[in-house]
Amino acid sequence: MGTLENKKYNNDSDVKLIICTCIYKRKELTKFCINEWLNHDIYKIIIIYSEDDDFDNLKDIVSDKLIILKYNNLPLSNKWNYSVKTAQNYNPDAIMIMGSDDIFTEEYIIKAKYYLNRRIEYISNNIWINIIYFRDKILLFSSYYINRQNKDGIGTTRIYSSNILNKINWDLYKFDNPINSGLDGTSYYKIKKYINKSRFDITDNFNTITLKIPTDSTAITIKEVYHFINNSTNVKINYRIIDYNDK
């Protein structure tokens, strides 16, 4: 991986990190996640929507960090590439890819900026945890993707430095044939030859968690799950929420 010397800024907090995301339906869940992102030290948030009602859902979120633009939903690779190309206009040090149902911790941002400031060019995680709440039961399943085929880590919260994006003209998701699935692996294959230094599992207990909340009268709300996770004594998390009540 190389040494962690030759800092770009005196302070790690000066690293400019932009979130790129694309939204489609799941309105309340999306709004919840975006409001959470705004609580952290993020430079800008690029949001690409496709339906007018998705945009209307965000009108009451007021922040100069938000850049909200419209683009066709399909093919998805073109929509996501538009988000990355838009980020280029704001001259960030790096971008972080986020799904509209993804949330991260402050710890992740602090340590990601630490590594970005020391010239790490690609950051991701290998650990995925599923939490299912159903009928007053919490079920926990862990998956470790250390040996993923592309060795690229999981897709959510992966971070690309501007250095490697410059080498592909920021066309991270521009392919000869546009695609609607497999964007994580295909985009990584495109840029992996340019990555000099990467970092996986950037904290010992840092996990990505999928919360599956089924349609059931006993199922708890998103905020209650959020409170439960953040008050857990043995889990520090970056997690993805899938709320089956929010289609």
The domain made up of 12-125+154-204 is a member of CATH 3.90.550.10: yes
pLDDT tens readout for residues 161-215: 999 999 999 999 999 999 999 998 899 989 988 888 777 655 444 445 555 544 4
pTM of the model: 0.80
DSSP 56: H
**CA angle, 126 as apex, 122 and 129 as ends, to 5°?**
135
Residues 107 and 40 sit within 8 Å (Cβ to Cβ):
no
pLDDT exceeds cutoff 70 at 132:
no
pLDDT tens readout for residues 89-105: 999 999 999 988 777 77
Alpha-carbon distance of 56 to 58, in angstroms, equals: 5
Q: Give the residue-averaged pLDDT of 121-147.
A: 61
Q: Of 52, 45, 44, give the one whose Cα is nearest residue 73.
A: 52
How many CA atoms lie less than 13 Å away from 42 in the CB half-sphere? 31
- Split at pLDDT 50, 70, 90, the class of 139 is low
Domain residue spans of the chain: 12-125+154-204
Residues 178 and 78 sit within 8 Å (Cβ to Cβ):
yes
Q: Left (φ > 0), alpha (ψ -120 to 50) or beta: where does 26 sit?
A: left
